[in-house]
Amino acid sequence: MEFLFGRLTLGALPHEWFTIGGTVFMTLAMIGVVAFLTRMKLWKWLWHDWLTSIDPKKIGIMYFIVAALMLVRGGLDAGMIWLQQVMGASSGGYLSAQHFQEIFTAHGVIMVFFVTMGFLFGFMNYIIPLQIGARDLASPFLNTLGFWLYVAGAILINMFFVFGGEFAAAGWLSIAPLSGLEYSPGVGMDYWIWSLQISGIGTTLGGINFIMTILKMRAPGMTLMRMPIFTWASLCSMVMVVIVFPLLTATVALLNLDRLLGMHFFTTTAGGNAMMYTNLIWMWGHPEVYILMIPALGVYSEVVATFSGKRLAGYTSTVIALNAIAIISLFVWLHHFFTMGSGANVNAVFGISTMIIAIPTAVQLFNWVFTMRKGRIRFDTPMLWFLGFVFTFSVGGMTGVLLAVPPADFQLHNSLFLVAHFHTMVIGGALFGIFAGFSYWFPKFTGIKLNERLGKYAFWFWIIGFWVSFGPLYILGLMGAPRRLERYDSVTGWQPLFVVSLIGFGIICIGTAFLVAQIIVSIKNRKKYADLTGDPWDGRTLEWSTSSPPPFYNFAVIPEVKNRDAFWEMKKEGKRIKSKYEDFEMPKGTATGIYIAIFAFFFGFAMIWHIFWLAIACALGIVAFIIFRTFYENTEYEMKAAEVEKVERMR
């Protein structure tokens, strides 16, 4: 039995109310989806048009769907954390310590890895080829493989609902030695390890692919210094991905060796060095938050320039600033553990290097201020998100500089002040950027403009809800409240603030409901909200020059670029893109990516539960598919000019 099922015994199956509830819910949901697809006879359509598609636009939308589902999961986690903290005065509450810790660990991992990263990869897939005037990505196969590995990781992290056991309870970075075998013997940590490992490899592949695409696939005339800022920001972010994700892969692999084979990298005994884990994981972890942040900065630059009807002030400065942020952020990781006792010199150097990031960030603000000056500003929803972002981001930036001062950090480290700070940056910076980008590009994705009124409601509920929920956390931090407490003495006087914070969470939920309603209402009334021009915002960059949604080949004729803001200049000169069609190659769809990801998923699953025969079988399966793929030469087909003409006429 142990050979067949490893650690997966009957006792490991769900037996607590929350895991049983999760199991029932997940099973019902799966049955529901399968029944729906079968009834509507949609399987074939799903498989051919979506799952095996290599069209980056479709993959981008699939990224959005997965990320949105994970946002709901992460949001529910957040609600459970808050509720417990409200009830936690004088040892109350409904969660055990173990369960509470599992929830905040899952919340962090999901929000960073599967929500924010997912949305950003969605945008990059959809927008970058359009912005640089390309028909496809450099390697469509790597792209689908990367996406499906990300999905495999996302499913794996939710699998403990179905198969039980437990989840990691050592914080989102699983700091050693707590994450080692001695202190976390269960399968929870292995869920964390394998879902990060699998999706991390997907992210690295995506990073390589986007660098190749941006460097090699640009339309004629689009020099690096004519690229739209979002593309530049994505390039910076992806360069960081390929630099730091290997560090994550290697570090997590070492932790895994500790746990699987009894090695001693990060253990307390036999000469292991737990401080090394803290160093290595933050060498990835700090750049990771900038990987999330930088593309969002790119989105804001696009939004500000478009809605001010004006070219971006200081394009060169913006590009330099983005690069500077990307490079400097690789050298600041130690500010996450000033309190480890590295000595004043080391602490001061890393504190100052952290502050230096504030310079290019402030330059970004200057760029936006002077873009708006003498512009003609329209307050559509994307612009509102931007204006909301500026305020939260400035507060987050200032508290960030404060945290970079080591003596101040000794007090604020591990406190709720820190929690409030990074939520200000990730929600107020990255997530607002995602919302801005989503409402900005939604007409491009679908050919439908979003309902403005509901979008504005969503914005106001979000920003007010954000400050109602995270303001109290700043205050709690100043009261000396540490993070991650599920119970505390009522004499501390923290409870009222947690209550306010929970109310804020409720307001945020209403905001999210408005976001959902906005999408539903707009799609339902698609005739009314239709945008037939392909250029609803008077856009500046190439993605607006094609129709909405773009044809699968993006551009019937690859545009020639002579300036920055290529489309704006074309419109100004009144030149329409010449319509002489030529033959070109398009990649064929492939299911290899999805098959490899399925094997990777079962490989991870088998390794978590120590079912080694299944792991070996899956590993061989992956190798076999890769070898098989090398024999498959005809990955492209020819698109004839006449066919293109036919498609273009039908539009």
Looking at residues 428 to 487 of the shown chain, list those that interact with other proteins (rule: CB under 8 A).
Answer: 456, 460, 463-464, 467-468, 471, 475, 477-480, 482, 484-487
Verify binding: residue 270, other proteins, rule CB under 8 A: yes
Which of 175, 510, 517, 557 is in the footprint of other proteins by CB under 8 A?
A: 175
The Cα–Cα gap between 365 and 38 comes to: 52
Comparing CA positions, the residue from 560, 334, 537 lying closest to residue 442 is 537
The 8 Å CB, 24+ separation contacts for 94-102 are 95/486, 97/486, 97/487, 98/166, 98/169, 99/18, 100/486, 101/169, 101/170, 101/171, 101/484, 101/486, 102/166, 102/167, 102/168, 102/169, 102/188
Tokens of 567: 């489309």
Closest separation in Å from C-beta 576 to other proteins: 21
- Letters for 38-77 (x = contact with other proteins by CB under 8 A, - = none) are ----------------------------------------
Coil, helix or strand at residue 609: coil
Among 144, 195, 209, 424, the residue binding other proteins under the rule CB under 8 A is: 209
CA distance 431 to 386: 11
Q: Name residue, tokens 């049955």.
A: 31
d(CA 556, CA 580): 9
Pairing outcome for strands 636-639 and 584-587: antiparallel
CB 579 within 8 A of CB 647: no
- Chain center to CA of 143: 16
Based on CB atoms, which residue is closest to other proteins, 410 or 613?
410
Q: Give the C-alpha distances (Å, rounded to integers) separating 324 from 237, 358, 430.
A: 12, 10, 18
Task: Please give the size of the binding site for other proteins, defined by CB under 8 A.
Answer: 138
Binding residue for other proteins, selected from 79, 92, 309, 549, defined by CB under 8 A:
309
Question: Rule CB under 8 A: is residue 183 a binding residue for other proteins?
Answer: yes
Q: How far is the CB of 332 from other proteins (least distance, A)?
A: 13
Instruction: Work out whether 595 is an interface residue with other proteins (CB under 8 A).
Output: no
C-beta of 27: minimal distance to other proteins in Å? 29
Cβ nearer to other proteins, comparing 163 with 460: 460
d(CA 445, CA 588): 22
Output 32 or 185, the one with its CB closest to other proteins. Answer: 185
In terms of CB distance, is 313 or 607 closer to other proteins? 313
Ranges within 210-269 binding other proteins (CB under 8 A): 211-212, 215-217, 242-243, 245-247, 249-251, 254, 257-258, 261-265, 267-269
Nearer to other proteins, 309 or 551 (CB): 309
Q: Does 169 engage in binding with other proteins (CB under 8 A)?
A: yes
Measured from the CB atom, is 143 or 446 closer to other proteins?
A: 143
In this complex, which beta carbon is closest to other proteins, that of residue 177 or of residue 447? 177
- For residue 577, give the DSSP letter: P
Choose between 347 and 446: whose C-beta lies nearer to other proteins.
Answer: 347
447 or 536: whose CB is closer to other proteins?
536
3-state SS assignment for residue 123:
helix
Smaller CB separation from other proteins, 372 or 558: 372
Kindly state the helix (H) or strand (E) to which residue 639 belongs, with its residue range: strand 636-639
* Of residues 340 and 641, the one with the C-beta less far from other proteins: 340
Tell me which of 331, 414, 510, 552 binds other proteins, using CB under 8 A: 414
C-alpha distance from residue 144 to each of 123, 230, 589, 590 (Å): 15, 22, 9, 8
The full DSSP string for 207-272 is HHHHHHHHHH-PPTT--GGGS-HHHHHHHHHHHHHHHHHHHHHHHHHHHHHHHHH---SS-SSTT-
Site for other proteins in 107-166 (CB under 8 A): 138-139, 142
Q: Are 193 and 200 in contact (CB under 8 A)?
A: no
Which amino acid makes up residue 218?
R
Give me 211's structure tokens. Answer: 């660098």
* Pick 76 or 479: Cβ nearer other proteins: 479
User: Scanning residues 487 to 546, which ones bind other proteins (CB under 8 A)?
Assistant: 487-488, 492-493, 497
**One residue of 117, 157, 280, 570 binding other proteins per CB under 8 A:** 280
Q: Annotate each residue in 374-413 with x if it binds other proteins (CB under 8 A) or - if it does not, as one string.
A: xxxxxx-------x--xx--x--xx--xx-xxxxxxxxxx
Using CB under 8 A as the binding rule, the residues of this chain from 310 to 369 that contact other proteins are 310-311, 313-314, 316-317, 337, 339-341, 343-345, 347-348, 351-352, 355-356, 358-359, 362-363, 365-369
**183: number of Cβ within 10 Å:** 14
- Work out how close the CB of 400 gets to other proteins at its nearest, in angstroms, rounded to a whole number: 10
CB of 108 to other proteins, least distance (A): 11
CB atoms within 10 A of CB 195: 27
Q: From CA 62, how far away is CA 79, in angstroms rounded?
A: 26
Q: Does 646 bind other proteins (CB under 8 A)?
A: no
Asked whether the beta carbons of 258 and 267 are under 8 A apart, the reply is yes
